[in-house]
Amino acid sequence: MSWRKGRLKKLRIIAGSPTELVIQDEGVVELRVYDGEGQPIDARLIKANRVAFSVEAGGLYILSRQPK
């Protein structure tokens, strides 16, 4: 996990079980989600600062802020 100016920059997650994962962070819509192979994962916006996406047990997921 890395931060820049108090905002999430990059996060690596290994899912413990299949579920829907919810991430909350200011400006979360700037984050892109990828699987362990680097393929993009569709995340849906729940609220202004929350996104959700499905994960599989043991799967690696990377959230990365898009550069401006």
From CA 68, how far away is CA 61, in angstroms rounded?
22
Confidence of residue 68 (pLDDT cuts 50, 70, 90): very low
pLDDT at 66 over 70: no
Dump pLDDT digits (tens) for 2-58: 877 877 788 899 999 999 999 988 878 788 999 999 999 999 999 888 999 999 999
User: Which 8-state DSSP code applies to residue 22?
Assistant: E
Domains of the chain: total:
1
pLDDT at 67: 57
Burial 35-50 (b: 16+ CB within 10 A, else e): eeeeeebebeeeeeee
pLDDT at 56: 96
**Alpha-helix runs per DSSP H in the chain:** none
Residue range of the domain that includes 45: 2-65
